[in-house]
Amino acid sequence: MTPSMDLVWPDARLLPHYEHALRQGWCPDNLRPQAASEELARIARDPRRFVAEQVDREAKGPPITLPDGSRVDRLPGFCLWIWDGEFCGSIGFRWKPGTTELPPHCPGHVGYSVVPWKRRRGYATRALRLLLPLARAEGLAHIELTTDADNVASRRVIEANGGILVERFPRAHAQVDGESLRFRILLDGTQRGVDSPPWGS
């Protein structure tokens, strides 16, 4: 782990680094590879607006395109950039005010993606750890994250941050059979998994 790795708020001065990563094949949306070209188009149209929309606590931004092509209203949220002197990826957080519940189309509170040339350095693990106090500050009791059962690297990131498995369900985003996992991270420091006994037992 490089100690200098940190999360930074999106900034117009750093936007060329973000754009470079997109042009090198990185995509912030693991389920929609075409999102990279869509973001490049948005940056070309209005770079200042693109940066401003990375932090959208009032959900004023454009609708979200789902993997099936449908569009839904945006949730409040923000995106932070992973930075070690260079752009390393991004981590996004979204929530529904007043509840820890999420709409059916939203698989979890957090999504992250590290550029290929910065992987295997522990950056995703540290990025998630740095995000947790920000999630707590929004009043959430816990956050949930999902990943495919065969995505060992992502499972390790979540488990290293206290994630406990709470649900297994059929993979819904791919044309192949498989299983997805839902993890929960309690923001008060306690954890209870799907196989754990009820409180007080």
DSSP string, the chain: --TT-EEE---GGGHHHHHHHHHTT--S-TT-TTHHHHHHHHHHH-HHHHHHTTEETT--SPPEEPTTS-EEPPPSEEEEEEESSSEEEEEEEE-BTTBS---TT---SEEEEE-GGG-SSSHHHHHHHHHHHHHHHTT-SEEEEEEETT-HHHHHHHHHTT-EEEEEEE--SSSS--EEEEEEEETTS----TTSPPTT-
* Start-to-end C-alpha separation, the chain: 40
Instruction: Quote the pLDDT of residue 196.
Output: 38
Instruction: Quote the pLDDT of residue 189.
Output: 59
Which of the following CATH numbers is that of domain 6-140: 3.40.1580, 3.40.630, 3.30.70, 3.40.50? 3.40.630
Instruction: Quote the pLDDT of residue 171.
Output: 76
pTM for the full predicted model: 0.86
Instruction: Quote the pLDDT of residue 200.
Output: 29
List the pLDDT tens digit at each of the 201 positions of the chain: 445 899 999 999 999 999 999 999 999 988 888 999 999 999 999 999 999 999 999 988 888 877 777 888 889 999 999 999 999 999 999 999 888 999 888 889 999 999 999 999 999 999 999 999 999 999 999 999 999 999 999 999 999 999 999 999 887 655 556 899 999 999 985 554 443 333 222
Instruction: Quote the pLDDT of residue 89.
Output: 98
Instruction: Quote the pLDDT of residue 30.
Output: 83
